[in-house]
Amino acid sequence: MYQQMQAYLSKEIYPFHMPGHKGNPMFIPQGLAKLDLTEIPGMDVLHKPTGIIGQLQESIADFYGADESHLLVNGSTAGIVSAISALCGEGRRIYAARNGHVSMYNGIALSGAVPIYLVPEKTPDGLTGGIKPELLDNMEEGAVVFIVSPTYEGFVSDIKEIAARVHSCGGVLIVDEAHGAHFKFSDTFPVSALDLGADIVVQSFHKTLPALGQMAVLHVKGTRIDRHRLRYFLQVLQTSSPSYMLMGQLDYILQMLWKRPEIFEAYVSRLKGLRMALANSDGLAIILSGRERVGQCGIYDIDPGKLLFNTNTEYKAEFIAEKLASQYRIQIEMAYREHLLAMTTVADTDEGMQRLWGAIGSLNIKMEDIHYEPENHIRTPRKLPEMVLTPGQAMGQEAEVVPWKMALGRISGEMLVVLPPGIPMVVPGERIPKGLMKLAPEVRVLK
């Protein structure tokens, strides 16, 4: 593993993908390995912080406008599962955005909650849009609602209106804002859900800020949450031996960005210049997506830090991504069907952005150069799979592993997921659609 990682790094491929530090030494403190400490005197304890960890959490809460902020040392996953577990018990209904990350479904399964799915609209080019507030018009009293905003592609829902509707019926709103930790640093980006009425917001600092992998934060605001119960589940789901190296580096980069706002201002300036250059590029392969999507398909705003491209011709994205890596030494975040996604952060350099602009301007790929297996042309059914059992019920049933073709039409006993971004096509307890594209050689199905 280590040798392969070193071999990859020797190619000097520029990362337009997570984690957000991009390997930029400006955001990596010297002697990082020496920060790998433990709960010795003076280092505080994650689950009952009274010292430096508590101070860092208070500083984060002050900046983001939260009542409490909790460090998550194994990503947003722990925060999402903890939030759902704290708010949902056996049989409790949760109105959940169907484009939720696998951690949302795991939280539903572990808590025994019954999901009522909120289905985002599809954009004309096949992407998942936002959640329209009117989907919440007929909620039951005291509902728990889970929304993803922004989406993986950077689409933001109307959280202010959604929160108003949730609270009008005495409900609680959880927002998976994993891809929005940077919003608070500049008015160029959308407004954070925490400022728009959300009760719990989970952010991955390692995705769009220059933190090391796994670092995330859960914010709580308002009086609708039983915070003692939430803290209990955070203790259950997080290690008692957190990485002080990860937490220390997070403090390092936050202090830098808070004390030197010109760093983020320079990033915003570079980003605007890059978007303008890409929009005027002579490249024939891809088209940069922008604010023309706002107001359509539940999309209330977009994150300009996500560079979303459409090939304008189906089934070219993977080929273009390979060309970007092999010919231009650029690795993007995602290539799927006709879309490509490049992620930018404050850690991106002028050289990296110029390399991307030059590569896009040089692309001129013809369809006859591309060869695909027929299976790549199978589209995912747009109708939700039939839910026969809740995720929690399904996980308690006997199951067997069968080849993919034999699994079609059976009830799934596992998540069938496309990575990235980690959004399940089929959830445990759902019948696997017969037209579903092949996601695995074998599948666990219920007997």
Residues 132 and 54 in one domain: yes
Query: What CATH number is associated with residue 162?
Result: 3.40.640.10
The residue length of the chain stands at: 447
Q: Is residue 312 predicted with pLDDT exceeding 80?
A: no
Tell me, yes or no, whether 325 and 410 share the same domain.
no
pLDDT class for 379, splitting at 50, 70, 90?
very low
pLDDT confidence of residue 315:
55
Same domain for 277 and 132, yes or no, is: no
428 lies in the same domain as 311: no
pTM: 0.93
Concatenated DSSP letters for 80-146? HHHHHHHH--TT-EEEEETT--HHHHHHHHHHT-EEEEE-PPBPTTS-B----GGGGTTPPTT-EEE
Is the model's pLDDT at 404 over the cut of 70? yes
Task: Give per-residue burial for 413-436: e unless 16+ CB within 10 Å, then b.
Answer: bbbbbeeebebbbbbbbbbbbeeb
Whether residues 244 and 272 share a domain: the answer is no
Least confident piece of the model among 167-176, 250-259, 414-423: 414-423
- The residue among 200, 217, 199 whose CA lies nearest residue 208 is 217
Tokens of 116: 């009522």
Considering the domain architecture, whether residues 59 and 121 belong to the same structural domain is answered as yes
| Span 77-90, average pLDDT | 96
- Of residues 320 and 84, which shows the higher confidence score? 84
Angle, in degrees to the nearest 10, between helices 262-279 and 244-259: 80
Q: What is the pLDDT of residue 131?
A: 97
Could you tell me if 200 and 314 lie in one domain? Answer: no
- Final residue before a domain boundary, out of 340, 369, 398: 369
Is residue 380 predicted with pLDDT exceeding 50? Answer: no
In a shared domain, residues 252 and 383: no
Identity of residue 185:
F
What is the rounded CA–CA span in Å between residue 176 and residue 149?
6
Q: Which range marks the domain in which residue 359 is found?
A: 2-21+261-369
- Count of alpha carbons within 13 angstroms of residue 434, beta-carbon side: 1
Tens-digit pLDDT profile for residues 255-302: 999 999 999 999 999 999 999 888 877 664 567 778 889 999 999 999
| In contact, 253 and 60? CB cutoff 8 Å | no
If asked whether residues 59 and 135 sit together in one domain, one would say: yes
How many distinct structural domains can be found in the chain?
Answer: 3
Identify whether residues 207 and 269 lie together within a single domain.
no
pLDDT digits (tens, 9 = 90+) for 86-101: 999 889 999 999 999 9
More confident residue, 138 or 51: 51
- The pLDDT tens digits for 137-184 are 989 999 999 999 999 999 999 999 999 999 999 999 999 999 999 999
pLDDT at position 288, please?
A: 77
189: DSSP letter: S
CB 415 within 8 A of CB 393: no
What's the pLDDT score for residue 180? 98
Separation of alpha carbons 170 and 222, rounded Å: 13
CATH code: domain of residue 273: 3.90.1150.150
Regarding whether 242 and 272 lie in a shared domain, the answer is no
Q: Note the pLDDT of residue 364.
A: 63
333-351 mean pLDDT: 93
For residue 31, pLDDT over 50 is answered with: yes
> Looking at 217, 238, 257, which one is the last position of a domain?
257
With 60 as the cut, is the pLDDT of residue 369 above it? no
Same domain, 286 and 244: no
User: Quick one: 144 exposed, middle or buried, by C-beta within 10 A (0-12, 13-18, 19+)?
Assistant: buried
For 59-63, 151-155, 357-361, 369-373, which range has the lowest pLDDT when averaged over its residues?
Answer: 369-373
Give me the CATH number covering residue 416: 3.90.100.10
pLDDT digits (tens, 9 = 90+) for 318-332: 888 998 999 999 999
Mapped onto helix, strand or coil, the DSSP state of residue 72 is: strand
330 in Cβ contact with 14 (< 8 Å): yes
Beta bridge partners of 202: 176, 218
Residue labelled with tokens 């951690």 = 103
Mean pLDDT to the nearest integer, 309-322: 77
Question: What pLDDT sits at residue 378?
Answer: 38
Closest CA to 445 of 408, 392, 417, 419: 408
Write down which residue in 257, 280, 309 finishes a domain: 257
Nearest alpha carbon to residue 347 among 188, 205, 193, 232: 205
**Dihedrals φ, ψ of 301, to 5°?**
-160, 170
Question: What pLDDT does residue 370 have?
Answer: 53
